Amino acid sequence: MTLTRRGKLAVAAGTVGVLAPAAVGYFAMFPNNAPAIVQQAMSRVGLVEEPPPPACPLTGQPAPHGEVPDRPVLAIKVENLAEARPQTGLDRADIVYEEPVEGGITRFIVVYQCHDANRVGPVRSARTTDPDVLAQFGRPAFGYSGSASNVARVVDGADLIDVRYDVAVDAYTRDDGRPSPHNLYTSTRPLWKAARSNEGPPDAVFTYANELEARSRKVSSAHLPFSSYSDVYWKWSRRDAVWLRSHGTVAHTLENGSRVAAANVVVMQVEVTFPPGSLSPQVTLTGSGKAYVFREGRMVVGRWDRPTLGDVTTFVTRDGEEIPLAPGITWVELLPDTIEVVVQR
pLDDT in tens, the chain (345 residues): 444 544 444 444 444 444 455 554 555 555 555 665 655 665 565 555 677 789 999 999 999 999 999 999 999 999 999 999 999 999 999 999 999 999 889 999 999 999 999 999 999 999 999 999 999 999 999 999 999 988 999 999 999 999 999 999 999 999 999 999 999 999 999 999 999 999 999 999 999 999 999 889 999 999 999 998 899 999 999 999 999 999 999 999 999 999 999 999 999 999 999 888 777 889 999 999 999 999 999 999 999 999 999 999 999 999 999 999 999 999 999 999 999 999 999
Q: Is residue 127 in some structural domain?
A: yes
> Which pLDDT score is estimated for 51?
74
pLDDT of residue 69: 97
139, 163, 195 — which closes off a domain? 195
Per-residue pLDDT, 37: 60
Q: Is residue 29 part of a domain?
A: yes
For residues 111 and 137, is the Cβ–Cβ distance under 8 A?
Answer: yes
Q: For residue 73, how many C-alpha atoms fall within 13 Å in the half-sphere facing its CB?
A: 28
Query: CA torsion angle for 106, 282, 203, 244 (degrees, to 10)?
Result: -20
Judge whether 20 lies within some domain.
yes
Question: What does the pLDDT read at residue 277?
Answer: 73
Residues 205 and 332 sit within 8 Å (Cβ to Cβ): no
C-alpha–C-alpha distance, residues 241 and 254, integer Å? 19
Domain of residue 145: give its range.
Answer: 64-195
Q: Are residues 181 and 268 in the same domain?
A: no
Angle at Cα 13 formed by Cα 9 and Cα 15, nearest 5°? Answer: 130
Contact status, residue 79 vs residue 182, Cβ threshold 8 Å: yes
Task: Tell me whether residue 201 is in a domain.
Answer: no
Does any domain span residue 211?
Answer: no
Beta-carbon contacts of 36 under 8 Å, excluding residues fewer than 6 positions away, are none
The reply to whether 142 falls in a domain is: yes
CA nearest to 332, candidates 78, 96, 132, 79: 96
Determine how many CB atoms are found less than 10 A away from the CB of residue 218: 11
**Side-chain-facing half-sphere of 261: CA atoms under 13 Å:** 14
The predicted-structure confidence for 82-132, as pLDDT tens digits, reads as follows 999 999 999 999 999 999 999 889 999 999 999 999 999 999 999 999 999
- What does residue 12 show for φ and ψ, rounded to 5 degrees? -65, -45
Residue 122: partners with Cβ closer than 8 Å, 6 or more residues away: 78, 79, 84, 87, 178, 181, 182, 183, 184, 185
223 lies in the same domain as 340:
yes
Residues 55-70 have pLDDT tens digits of 999 999 999 999 999 9
Q: Are 188 and 112 in contact (CB under 8 A)?
A: yes
Contacts of 78 (CB under 8 A, 6+ apart): 84, 87, 89, 90, 107, 108, 109, 110, 120, 121, 122, 123, 124
175 in the same domain as 74:
yes
pLDDT at 15: 45
Q: What is the pLDDT of residue 278?
A: 74
SS3 137: helix
Structural contact between residues 126 and 132, judged by C-beta atoms closer than 8 angstroms: no
| 97 within domain boundaries | yes
Q: What letters, b where the CB count within 10 A reaches 16 and e where it falls short, cover 230-265? A: bbbbbbbeeeeebbbbbbeeeebebeeeeebbbbbb
Whether residue 120 is found in the same domain as residue 221: no
Q: What pLDDT, on the 0 to 100 scale, is given for residue 22?
A: 52
For residues 331 and 265, is the Cβ–Cβ distance under 8 A? yes
Kindly state whether residue 53 falls inside one of the protein's structural domains: no
- Distance separating alpha carbons of residues 3 and 73, to the nearest angstrom: 50
Amino acid, res. 338:
T
Q: Give pLDDT, residue 172.
A: 98
H-assigned helices in 4-144: 5-13, 21-29, 36-44, 129-134
Q: Quick one: pLDDT at residue 14?
A: 47
Q: Are residues 111 and 35 in the same domain?
A: no
pTM of the predicted model as reported, rounded to 2 decimal places: 0.86
Neighbours of 341 (CB within 10 A): 17
DSSP H or E segment with residue 174: strand 172-174
Element (H, E) at 303: strand 298-306
Q: What is the pLDDT of residue 21?
A: 52
Q: What's CA 333's distance to the chain center, in Å?
A: 12
Q: Residue 52: its pLDDT value, please?
A: 78
Number of folded domains that form the chain: 3
Alpha-carbon distance of 140 to 162, in angstroms, equals 9
- Look up the CATH number of the domain holding residue 135: 3.50.90.10
